[in-house]
Amino acid sequence: MEQQLIENKNNKHNTVFDDFLENRIKHGWAQILIASSFYIIWLCDGGESLIVAFVLPIIKKEWSLTDSQMSLVGSLIFLGWGIGAIACGQFSDRFGRRKTMIYGCFFQFVFGFLSTFCTGYMQFLLLRGLFGFANGLVNPLTSTYISEIVPKSNRGRFFVHVFNAFPIGEIIIVIFAAIFFSSLDSGNWRALLFIGSIPGLLAFLSSIYYLIESPRYQLCCTSNTSEEVFANLNYMGKLNNEQFEPITQTEKEYLKEWGKQNYKIQEKKIGDIKELFRGKNYLLTLKLMMMWFSLSFVYYGIVFILPLMILQMRKEEGFESNESESKSMDFFGIFLACFAEIPSNMLAFYTIENPKFGRKNSMIICYGICSICCILCYFNASLSGFFFFLVGCVKFFINFSFCTIFPFTAEVYITALRTTGIGVNNSVCRFGGVIMPWISILLLEVGVTGPFIAFAIISALSALSAYTIEKDTTNINLDTYNNDENDLDQTMIQEMNKL
């Protein structure tokens, strides 16, 4: 490995840390253990996406809420998520990944748990908004961490692996909702909120015990060249291979010099939101914003509106929502729509590192097919198996886009802006969720499947945005996407030659 590091100083592109991670640290139990809290966070995120959709019809009856009050609950949660995502970028890029993750998980549990004891609308509104903020603090960090601690040959697949927890979280909540609820608009909603708060506590404990600071962040975005960086790398190497030989002094010098030069270049850009809209980042960020916006608008739009849509269809077809037969069909239909995401993740796992598909082509295809399926849903306004199949297809392909856009976004921005970039785009995604309840409920009044027209248009625009993106990031070295030649190389070569 030392010889390879020496050879790197004559390479066109700077790959010192990327090659060290790929060839010395490698991929294995270290990444899985460090990411243990990430699995739980996505489990919680998946559950939360359905909890509010299940709870709202019940508290509407219990507290006599208007449609506007219902929409405000959904909007405030997404607004909290969006503000939290922006704060995540500022905190983690400036003060560290690990601290932000630990505090975010703690407050996520606290606000989620306190929501169980709400006695009125305003309490519920405030606590769910704060819960959304805490969740927004931790969600973007998962993809940042994965991009920085996982070798480039496994980054995409590992994220999909972690993302599998999302549909599992949804399925768990569907099962508990079927147990606690007598129908879609009556049941023990407090018990469901309590179940949903537990993952936050588990993620907090896991982060304290297993999460380490990102070594790449320590080298690139801090002036820290202490032994803590190399202790973390040695820890990862030992977990992945019992015969791992500790980092040599020569390797330390090369890594220190690589970090020093990166820090010089990136120091003034750390956490600077304005950098996302300068130079080559400008159009790229705008296109990503369009694609991120559609994810939340379409995905959470379906999750939010589906129970209300089912209730309205049942009324139009003359069924009572509390009949045991209709309850079984309703929950089973929602279950199938959630289960459709698992094969979506499996397909993404096998295509995301394939150069023929990769990140870019996958997003073009998935957004396009999603738009077509939404149009078909609009013209099939009945509680039939075919309708639920089409809804499952929409979730299949929009979920596939989720799996690819997270690693893609993490790979296009430099380390100093990585979480800021993901956070800002994630906040735009959540903004889609802020306006989604208002538009969805409005279109629901126009027609029972009216919201699917909006979903189709937004998905088509996202497919166009993905098509116009310049290049893919599959197997790319981090910090090089917007550079024809890494501006670090020449400085790096000069400094390496001095060693």
- Measuring CA to CA, which residue among 322, 29, 359 is closest to residue 185? 322
3-state helix, strand, coil in the chain (%, to 5): 80, 0, 20
Domain boundaries, the chain: 15-490
Select the CATH number that applies to the domain covering 15-490 from these four: 3.40.50.2300, 3.30.360.10, 1.20.1250.20, 3.30.70.100. Answer: 1.20.1250.20
Predicted local distance difference test score (pLDDT) of residue 467: 93
Inter-residue contact 34 to 212 (CB < 8 Å)? yes
Predicted local distance difference test score (pLDDT) of residue 192: 92
Predicted local distance difference test score (pLDDT) of residue 314: 73
pTM (2 decimals)? 0.78
Predicted local distance difference test score (pLDDT) of residue 110: 95
**Token pair 């748990």 in the structure block, residue:** 113
Inter-residue contact 199 to 138 (CB < 8 Å)? no
β-strand partners of 181:
187
Long-range contact set of residues 36-40: C-beta below 8 Å, sequence gap at least 24: 36/206, 36/210, 37/101, 37/105, 37/203, 37/204, 37/206, 37/207, 37/210, 37/211, 38/142, 38/145, 38/146, 38/162, 38/165, 39/162, 39/165, 40/165, 40/199, 40/202, 40/203, 40/206
What are the 10-residue block averages of pLDDT along the chain, 499 residues in total?
47 64 88 90 86 85 84 80 85 86 93 91 90 88 88 87 87 88 84 92 93 87 75 91 88 84 77 84 92 87 76 67 55 72 85 85 93 88 76 87 89 86 86 78 78 90 93 84 53 45
Predicted local distance difference test score (pLDDT) of residue 437: 75
The counts of H helices and E strands in the chain are 22, 2
Inter-residue contact 396 to 341 (CB < 8 Å)? yes
Predicted local distance difference test score (pLDDT) of residue 143: 85
CA distance 131 to 110: 8
Query: Three-state DSSP class for 182?
Result: strand
